[in-house]
Amino acid sequence: MGFSGEDSEVSGGRSAKILVGIINVIAPSADVTLENYETFDQLENTEKALRKAAHMFEYGVLAMLVWAVCFGLSDLPRKYAYILPVLFAVCIGSIDEKNQTTVSGRTGSMVDVCVDATGALIAVFIAYRLTMRYRRAKMMPNSHPAAPTGS
């Protein structure tokens, strides 16, 4: 919520610093600096993609934290441990986007809420697949490579 309360210049400046840093690590000969950054038209879409990826990542982490709490609750049916984190992320994402409509130079976007939900869905799907893999491995006693062969 702190980042969504920043005006567009502060938020855009942070994105520019991150993108210029990434470019200078990957391709130091590109000679991209914060001073000449805006002259590269092709970086506009790259910055948008970076911002969307950051949204997906942060809401994926949020969903994983909520999943961990829900999964640890013994009275909660397991399906809710996978559903509630996504719903929570969508609610927080919606509040975040609504908050941005009150900030100078910022707008709220349903696209960003969908990106947030996608990040949460991916994270919860990964959690689901890992727990299923763990359960299958736990059911098969000789599935571990270091397990004795019985000879």
Domain layout of the chain by residue ranges: 3-139
Judge whether residue 121 has pLDDT over 80.
yes
- For residue 123, the model assigns a pLDDT of 96
Q: For 66-97, what is each residue's pLDDT tens digit?
A: 999 998 887 888 888 899 999 999 999 999 98
pTM above 0.75, yes or no: no
Q: Are 20 and 34 in contact (CB under 8 A)?
A: yes
In whole angstroms, what is the distance from residue 65 CA to residue 116 CA? 15
d(CA 19, CA 40): 12
Residue 63 pLDDT level (bands cut at 50, 70, 90): very high
pLDDT of residue 7: 61
Task: Please report, in angstroms and rounded to a whole number, the separation of the first and last CA atoms in the chain.
Answer: 60
Q: What is the DSSP string of 43-92?
A: HHHHHHHHHHHHHHHHHHHHHHHHHHHHHH-TTS-HHHHHHHHHHHHHHH
* pLDDT value at residue 132: 86
Distance between CA atoms of 109 and 43, rounded to whole angstroms?
Answer: 21
SS3 labels along 104-143: CCCCCCHHHHHHHHHHHHHHHHHHHHHHHHHHHHHHCCCC
Does the pLDDT of residue 126 top 90, yes or no? yes
Which pLDDT score, from 0 to 100, does residue 85 have?
Answer: 95
Q: Which residue has the higher pLDDT, 144 or 89?
A: 89
pLDDT at 125 over 80: yes
Token digits of residue 63? 């969903």
